[in-house]
Amino acid sequence: MSHPMSRRGFLAGVGAFGVASALAGCATSTPSPAAGSGTKKSAALQLKSRETSDGGRKAMQALLDEFAKANPQYKPTLNTMEPAAFQQQIRADLTLATPPDMLTWFAGEIASNFAKQGLLLDATSAFPADGYSKQFADLSTDASGKKIFVPTNYYWWGMFYRTSQFEKWDVSEPKTWDEFIALCKTLKGKGVSPIALPLADSAWLTASWFDYLNLRINGATFHRALLAGQESYTDPRVAKVLDTWREVLPYLDPAGKGLAFQEGSAKWQQGKDAMFLAGTFLGDATPADVKADVNFFQFPIIDANVPVAEEAPLDGFIASARTANPEGALAFMKYVATPQAQELYLKTSGSTLIPANSNAKSPVSTPLLEKGRAMVASAADVTQFFNRDSNDDQLNALTTALVRFIDKPDEAGDILKKWQDDSAKARGN
Amino acid sequence: MTARKSRVRPWFFHGGMSVLAFLWLVPLALVVVTSLRTFDDLADAGLASVPKGLTIDPYRQALDSGEWQSIVNSLIITVPVVVVTLVLASMAAYGLARHRIPFRKTMLLLMLAGNLLPAQLLLIPVLKLTEQFGIFDSRIGMIVVLTAVGLGFYVFVLHGFMRGIPDEITHAAKIDGATTFGVYLRIVLPLTKPAMAALGSLAFTWTFNDLLWAITLLRDEQKLPVTPAILGMQGEFVSSWNVIAAATVIAAIPTVIVFLRFQRYFISGLLIGSAK
């Protein structure tokens, strides 16, 4: 009788010992935020950022430091997460009982979806009355008219090249599609691979080609309707996009399929590939002595009757609806909307970005930056980027279709049918 | 005929093994070489090129960017997980293998079945559970979850192993007056040592190298173990390959030490388990 009892007692004891030793192992861990007292909790503010680069981290920290100086009642902390993990975690993050208070995010469909689910804090009171263009204000507004996003900066896409290489090859920037094709031909004739398109880990780059061709051929209105599912990928207008792209395929670097983005950008930087359709992040990744040599031209005009649209992805902040400290989060959102905050961020990060508040000046003005700013400013319309304007499932359908198209350009009809299927399926669930 | 065969065979074996070993080692060597190059050299010439020079700078950068803290975090999580897992699993296995506990087969099968579920299926429910219990985003939560997730497998393996211990030994101990727990502690545990050592080193590696649970259950940068910390060194578009390679080499050191320390048990332990 006493036997099983004592055995059980002993087991319980050992179990408790195990847990105790586990607890002892974590003695250094800080108490969870939930354990903090009420007053303490409302002072703490956590910013979750996906800027993992050195400059990005420092710039975020600088923002928080400046914010805390002006608002000493709040104690902001920075938490940085690798972008892929960040993207994966954000849905769960926004539904946590103690979520991060502010998060870095971008304008577009996904933010509106979060808002639809009631996950985002209404930032209307933090949104400045002037400084933002109507377009940026619209992009920050959800379906019910609330501001849910505060934009801080944007970058642009273009056909990047190195000035010294273009001089060496004795070629100049093309304006129209025909000039562009002629340029590709000339470059190939000189033994240079004209266009870089590394796909091994960045098949999403194909979306930039699709976006631009569609914008140049069919215009931004059709592009948006297509992405929203109101038009079909089997439409002859989409077939025309692929037909036009087919003219360029012979000029893509044939090794591109096996190259990672970083290898592709290195090859472009070395002048082995002449041009790279990319965002400004391409130039930011080059060594300091190359930066001044980086240049770009606007994606060539195909149909002069179509109003020119450019891709200018807009980045900024959202705040969680479940934050324990909505006043603090809103105060921070108000701060990052100011020209001073945006200038501070750009100065510290050193990235080629344009402040979203039109009252803000670029702290480091380079010819490249001014050229980009002028291009976006003169555009009749601005889009974000394929997945920002739709979502990641739609982007998957696109990459499947377009990577296949690069391999088998003759099967365009089949590919578009399958694309429409994939797209509809992704919309269904 | 047979004499000739036995002369050819070792050559064949050694030839084949050297090729295989070479194939195994090439990626590792590439990582080590990459970790010793400068970023500009890599960016200019690409990964598959002859290095211009070697430097230990990437290691310094990796450690400066907070890798120490993340390795300490990894150990804070891994060591308790291994200890608690082995204590609980050996007890459960002993109970299931040597006692007529009702539904012991069912229990064992349930544990095994739990292992067949893909971890991805459990991510969200477990996340919500840890939030309810207030151990979300804490290292204790990681320890509890990683222990629970692995337990079924370890019980199953140890159960098979313990059934191979002759009944006579435990009976003799009982006749000499040993309690059930005495038998476990003095007879079964020492005999299970090789299997425990093998499982311990496996558990160490698996827990130390876990990434999925870490990025699901942890949020605070200061608490992240080494695997997500290395992931965090990657930029969205461009990463310093050399620093990441150096960080991976550093992160591999603890598991290599554990494996070297326990490798003799590892081979014998797994063999005994399989011969049952």
B183-199 pLDDT, tens digit each: 999 999 999 988 899 89
The ranges of chain A annotated as CATH 3.40.190.10 are 44-155+314-371, 157-311+391-428
Q: Which CATH number fits domain A157-311+391-428: 3.90.550.10, 3.40.190.10, 3.40.50.150, 1.10.3210.10?
A: 3.40.190.10
Residues of A in Cβ contact (< 8 Å) with B43: 266, 269, 287
CA distance A95 to A89: 10
Per-residue pLDDT at B64: 87
- pLDDT tens digits, one per residue of A237-270: 999 999 999 999 999 999 999 998 888 988 999 8
Mean pLDDT of chain A: 88
Per-residue pLDDT at A47: 96
Per-residue pLDDT at B5: 60
Per-residue pLDDT at A250: 96
Using a CB–CB cutoff of 8 Å, tell me whether B87 touches chain A: yes
- At A276, give phi and psi (nearest 5°): -145, 115
Comparing CB atoms, the residue among A19, A32, A269 nearest residue B138 is: A32
**CB A92 to CB B127 under 8 A?**
yes
- pLDDT tens digits, one per residue of A183-206: 999 999 999 999 999 999 899 999
Using a CB–CB cutoff of 8 Å, tell me whether B135 touches chain A: yes
Using a CB–CB cutoff of 8 Å, tell me whether B47 touches chain A: yes
* Domain at A44-155+314-371, CATH homologous superfamily: Periplasmic binding protein-like II (3.40.190.10)
The full length of chain B comes to: 276
Per-residue pLDDT at A163: 96
- The one-letter code for the residue type at B114 is G
pLDDT at A25 over 50: no
Name the one residue in this structure whose structure tokens are 């510290």.
A348
Domain borders along chain B are 65-275
Pick from A104-113, A179-188, A282-291, B259-268: least confident: B259-268
What average pLDDT score do residues B215-244 get? 87
- The one-letter code for the residue type at A101 is D
pLDDT band at B46 (very low <50, low <70, confident <90, very high): confident
- pLDDT tens digits, one per residue of A405-422: 999 999 999 999 999 999
**CB B136 to CB A32 under 8 A?**
yes
pLDDT at B238 over 80: no
ipTM of the complex as predicted: 0.77
Pick from A44-48, A161-165, B219-223: least confident: B219-223
Question: What whole-number percentage of chain A has pLDDT above 70?
Answer: 90
Using CA coordinates, name the residue in chain B closest to A98: B131
What average pLDDT score do residues B149-164 get? 91
Per-residue pLDDT at A87: 87
- At A195, give phi and psi (nearest 5°): -125, 130
Using a CB–CB cutoff of 8 Å, tell me whether B106 touches chain A: no
pLDDT band at A385 (very low <50, low <70, confident <90, very high): very high
Under CATH, which number does the domain B65-275 receive? 1.10.3720.10
A 10 A CB-CB count for B120 gives: 9
For B230-257, b/e burial (b = at least 16 CB within 10 A) is: bbbbbbbbbbbbbbbbbbbbbbeebbee
Comparing CB atoms, the residue among B40, B137, B232 nearest residue A32 is: B137
Using CA coordinates, name the residue in chain B closest to A21: B80
pLDDT at A5 over 50: no
